[in-house]
Chain A
Amino acid sequence: MFPLILLLGAALLLMVAGTLGLAAKARASWGQMSATALTCLGGALGAAVCLDVLLFLNGPAPVLTVRAVYPNWPLHFRLDPLSAFFALPVFVMAAAGSVYGQGYWNERRHPRTGRRLRFFYGLFVAGMVLVTVADDGLAFIMAWEIMALASFFLIATEDQNPACRQAAWIYFVATHLATLLLMALFALLHAASGSFLLVPLPAAAGWKIETALFLLALVGFGLKAGIMPLHFWLPGAHAQAPSHISALLSGVLLKIGIYGLLRILTLLPHPPALWGVMVLILGSINALLGVVYALGQHDMKRLLAYHSIENIGIILMGLGVAMIGAATDHPVWEVLGIAGCLLHVWNHALFKSLLFFSAGSVISAARTRQIDALGGLARHMAWSSNLFLVGALAICGLPPLNGFVSELLVYLGLFHPTAGKDSGIWALISADAVILAVVGSLAVACFVKVYGVVFLGSPRTERAAKVHESPGSMIAPMLLLAGLCGLVGVFPLVVLVPLSHAAAVWMGRAHVQGMLIRAFPWGTLTVLNFSMVVVAVAIFYLVRISRRFIPVASAPTWGCGYSATGSRMQYTGTSFAGILVGLWSWVLRPLAHGKTPIGLFPKPIEYETEIPPFITDRATHTLWHYIKLGTRPIRWLQQGSVQQYLFYMLAAVVVLLALIPFGNLFARLWGH
């Protein structure tokens, strides 16, 4: 009980951190300082509690009942290792983000929005923590709504910008759709189990209820996690929010959706293998399309947002394997899949937030998000550039960083069915490994594009030539995240215990740790990754020393015979991705605006390409078109006169009243 109360205290600290500063005058720095200090304190306390639970708690987690809010309707909270596993990144990222905000959204530069942002920031992170520890439907929905509404206000921080307002409204619609589905989910759960408590469903509930619950959870939480095609709110919201908010949205908010899905799955007694296949297929579609869409983006933050969809896909692939393993009684597939899923949740929180932070550093220095307007930033922003490189290598799953460890877990989960001699149809599932590999190489292409075009080469605009490195308050959180990426990558053994405790909750069985140790080469990987780092450092110093003995000359880049090459002649991000965008044009359907130059002395022209988001631009337009066509016959109903609408309401009430006598009949038909 004690850890849970401490954790709730930490959440409370986070929640009130920004409130104090509301009393501060605009441009007064103490408001921001106090918010950051309280957030860091709460973050450190919460992280310590989570680590304690993840490392040491083995007994059953006690339930805390809070009657103070609604005396007749107590709220329940519980802190088991699965909750702690998802709450830990929230605490770490909340602290890191608030420190980053000191430099990025400094009170002096943003006096109008700063106080509001910090107020909702506290509510947002505290809401996420509460979601992970909520143990009944009511508490869950309440925490969920705090999180959802606060994040809406955070996305709308720059509300003077119409694009930002639009993104925020789209998010608002999406998140309320999710809430609606979750309310249905918990109502159904209540109907099936007799209480709002998140307890396992009785085995007698029947497959119909189970399937309905699963589908509601998949769609409701999928809206939050950004599972395609429910991702429509995601790229806009991530691009328009301030960068440290984007980092939290992508790094932790999406994972809360994954948490909800995992938690509901632990309540269902017999998930069939078919669901696992469904999740696996959804995951591979997400991973593939996420990275393909990312390749076509020109906006740095939109690109990173699409990569979140890709990584959610990888997480779902792990979950799918685990569900198939659970349903077909293959504990090794199950443990590898769920471990891959969970570890990728952590890893993605680390490297994606790192990437958003360093992207924010670029944006605040160069005042643009357009990849093709940048270039050569590494010369002036060595820290940001090298830290971005760490994030990029990690997200591509390259050894010896953390992305490799979790992807290897998922790969092994996919490979095991192939090797099994009784595998039958499951061998086809293992072909998903090919998709994962293709996704990996696409991710390499995409991050070489961003890193190479933004940080390397020479600056493409004057603004990009005059950038300065960000202040230490922005670099320090990035260093922390990069260090954690390296730690998990080089010493994967550090995550073994937390991972196996959290996996044990999901799998509902004991001795998970032993299984995980046997199924995955922890020791070998640690030795290998560590020696890779040692060799790399050794080579670095060798090169440094040997440069003194090798004759070195400096010269401009060879222009292949052209004497006047300029920085604008460099390959741009768009041209770099051109071949792949062309290969995938049947999915992406890129649009080009403008003319091509004609004649011997062409006039200056403007030419622009874009990849319109499918759901918000194409699908909804088409849908509205058909809805308009289909509803034309009943358009006379809508005349615009208030009297008529009042009449409709009255008529509806009368009809409903008339239906009351038939209520019992409906109830009988429904089966109660």
Chain B
Amino acid sequence: MLHTTTPQLILSIATHFLVPLAIAPLFPGIINKVKAAMAGRRGPPLRQPYLDIFKLLRKTLVISNTTTWIFFAGPLVAVGAMLAVELLIPIGSSPAPIHFAGDVILFVYLFAAARFFTTSAALDTGSSFEGMGAAREVSFAVVSEAALIFSLLIMIRFSSGLSLNTLLLAPFKQGSVGPRLMAAVGLFVFLLAETSRVPVDDPDTHLELTMIHEVMVLDHSGPLLAAVQYASSLRLLILINLVLLFIGPPHTGIPILSWVLFILEASATAVLVGIIESVMARLPLRHVPTLLAAAAVLSGLGFILALR
């Protein structure tokens, strides 16, 4: 299952690097299409996020004159951290090329590094709105991180290693179905929070007072905004992938088929996100920590069940 020869390793690194890079912007497109369909509109084409990114890359970069190099580092570290995460996590049923005991923690801390730089970049502009968004981002992350770690602990409990490969590709065991499902639900809430989706955040609104992620990037423009959007679609893909691994995608054994299957499953999850976004309203901000705490408690209960 693991890569023994160098060419295999290089091939694996290449696929884990390039495939997500290529398909990531597809999923925001799917969500938008579903939302449009639910609202009775035709909606933008699926390739719209790609077009947006290409358009932004050609545009002028407007930089606020209060900013420093941190303003550039925010989006770039976010993209870099997400690409690094792609090398650490099994995608579908293809094991991760880089794995070691404890890479779980590197996974979590790469998210933290991205958060550190994006929120600092927001504060770099000196805008009170962006400061507000940054404060919300770091505060809610505290609660949602508990959900993530509890879920990962469940998988550590059910497998024999400490690397994401052995954790997440572990077969279902007797008694593991319940905790894994609970963890998956907890992680799904984590996904909604981390990718700024309803009911935690609304990616469409332009009311700065109520937003989290979108408000932090108000001053980013041109290629930097493209990086921000790319990072957020990569993040969406990674988290969809994580939720799927907890439910356990079918292992076919044929690489190409597995990848196709993975894309189909991920698209289905994106459709689910789109449906939730269409039928639910955004929660008042003060209730968001409660929702995230509920997710953490659910994963925590799963962990206690897994202790038997």
Within 8 A of A (CB), among B236-294: 289
Q: Are B128 and A555 in contact (CB under 8 A)?
A: no
Residue on A nearest B206 in the bound complex, by CB: A560
B210 at the interface (CB under 8 A from A): no
**Which residues of chain A are near B59, meaning CB under 8 Å?**
551
A539 touches B76 (CB 8 A): yes
B70 with A444: CB separation less than 8 A? no
* Contact present for A457 and B124 (CB under 8 Å): yes
Give Cα distance in the complex from A670 to B140, angstroms: 57
Number of interface residues of A (CB under 8 A): 75
B297–chain A nearest beta-carbon distance, Å: 12
A412 at interface, CB cutoff 8 A: yes
Q: Which residue in B62, B157, B160 is a CB contact (below 8 Å) of A555?
A: B62
Q: A542: nearest residue on chain B (CB-CB)?
A: B76
What's the Cα separation between A451 and B131 when bound, in Å?
12
Answer whether A557 and B149 are a contact pair too, CB < 8 Å, given A399-B113, A521-B101: no
**Residue A634 at the chain B interface, CB threshold 8 Å:** no
Is A418 engaged at the interface, CB distance under 8 Å to the other chain?
yes
CB distance from A285 to the nearest CB of B (A): 16
The prevalent SS among residues of A at the interface is helix
Query: Given A419-B156, A569-B128, are A576 and B134 neighbors across the interface (CB < 8 Å)?
Result: yes
Taking CB atoms, residues of chain A closer than 8 Å to B138 are: 441, 444-445, 448-449, 580
Asked if B112 is at the interface (CB within 8 A of a chain A CB), the reply is: yes
Residues A536 and B80 in contact, CB atoms below 8 Å apart: yes
Cα distance, A452 to B67, chains bound together (Å) = 11
A294 to chain B, nearest CB (A): 13
A567 and B120 within 8 A (CB): no
Q: What does the 1/0 interface line of A570-581 toward B look like (CB < 8 Å)?
A: 110001111110
Known contacts A437-B149, A543-B76; A557/B61 CB under 8 A: no
For the complex, what is the distance from the CA of A391 to the CA of B217, rounded to whole Å? 25
Report the nearest A residue to B110, measured CB to CB.
A399
A529-561 near B? 1/0 per residue, CB < 8 Å = 000100110010001000000111111111110
B147 CB → nearest A CB, Å: 9
Q: Is the pair A452, B134 in contact by a Cβ cutoff of 8 Å?
A: yes
Interface: A649 (CB within 8 A): no
| A393 CB-CB contact with B under 8 Å | yes
Give the nearest-CB partner of B127 in chain A.
A557
B222 within 8 A of A: yes
Which residue of the partner chain B has the closest CB to A427?
Answer: B307
Do A570 and B126 have beta carbons less than 8 Å apart? yes
Whether, in the assembled complex, A221 has its beta carbon less than 8 Å from a beta carbon of chain B, the answer is no
A324 within 8 A of B: no
Complex: how many Å from CA A573 to CA B137?
15
Residue from B123, B129, B223 in contact with A452 in the complex, judged by beta carbons closer than 8 Å: B123
B108 touches A437 (CB 8 A): yes
Instruction: Please determine whether A433 and B153 come into contact, CB atoms closer than 8 angstroms.
Output: yes
B298 to chain A, nearest CB (A): 13
Judge whether A440 and B112 touch: CB under 8 Å: yes
> Could you say which of A397, A408, A535, A552 contacts B102, with CB atoms under 8 Å apart?
A408
Q: Determine the residue in chain A with the shortest Cβ distance to B223.
A: A550
* A169 CB-CB contact with B under 8 Å: no
Contact A576/B135 with A393-B116, A444-B112, A553-B60 known, Cβ cut-off 8 Å: yes
B169-187 CB contacts (< 8 Å) to partner A: none
Q: Known contacts being A528-B106, A554-B63, is A438 close to B120, with CB within 8 Å? A: no
> Closest CB-CB distance, B261 to chain A, in whole Å?
29
Q: Is the CB of A456 within 8 A of B126?
A: yes
B98 contacts A by Cβ under 8 Å: yes
Name A421-467 residues within 8 Å CB distance of B.
427-428, 430-431, 433-434, 437-438, 440-442, 444-445, 447-449, 451-453, 456-458
The reply to whether the CB of A176 lies closer than 8 angstroms to some CB of chain B is: no
Please give the distance in Å from A235's CB to the nearest CB on chain B.
22
Pair A419/B162 contact, Cβ less than 8 Å: yes
Would you call A665 an interface residue if the criterion is a C-beta within 8 Å of the partner chain's C-beta atoms? Answer: no
Does B135 contact A419, Cβ atoms closer than 8 Å? no
Query: Is there an interface contact between A557 and B116, defined as CB atoms closer than 8 Å?
Result: no
Return chain B residues, CB-CB under 8 Å to A571: 123, 128, 130-132, 134-135
Residues of A within 8 Å of B116, CB to CB, are 393, 396, 398, 444, 447-448
Bound: A430/B135 CA distance, A: 30
Question: In the complex, what's the smallest C-beta–C-beta distance from A344 to chain B, in angstroms?
Answer: 14
**Bound Cα distance from A580 to B98, whole angstroms:** 35
Contact A434 B105 (CB under 8 A): no
Counting CB contacts under 8 A, is B54 at the interface? Answer: no
Given A376-B66, A408-B102, A411-B105: A559 in contact with B127 (beta carbons within 8 A): yes
Contacts A440-B108, A550-B61, A583-B143 supplied; 13 other A-B pairs, CB < 8 Å? A376-B66, A393-B113, A398-B112, A408-B105, A415-B156, A418-B153, A434-B146, A444-B141, A521-B101, A525-B100, A551-B222, A555-B62, A558-B64
**11 CB-based A-B contacts, threshold 8 Å:** A399-B110, A419-B159, A431-B300, A437-B146, A438-B142, A445-B139, A447-B116, A448-B116, A451-B120, A521-B103, A583-B139
User: Which residues of A pack against B, CB within 8 Å?
Assistant: 375-376, 378-379, 385, 393, 396-399, 404, 407-408, 411-412, 415-416, 418-419, 427-428, 430-431, 433-434, 437-438, 440-442, 444-445, 447-449, 451-453, 456-458, 519-521, 524-525, 528, 532, 535-536, 539, 543, 550-560, 565, 567, 569-571, 575-580, 583
Binding site for A on B (CB under 8 A): 59-68, 70, 72, 76, 80, 84, 98, 100-106, 108-110, 112-113, 115-116, 119-120, 122-132, 134-136, 138-143, 145-146, 148-150, 153, 156-157, 159-162, 208, 218-219, 222-223, 289, 300, 303, 307
Closest 6 CB pairs of A and B: A571-B131, A452-B123, A521-B100, A457-B126, A445-B138, A579-B139
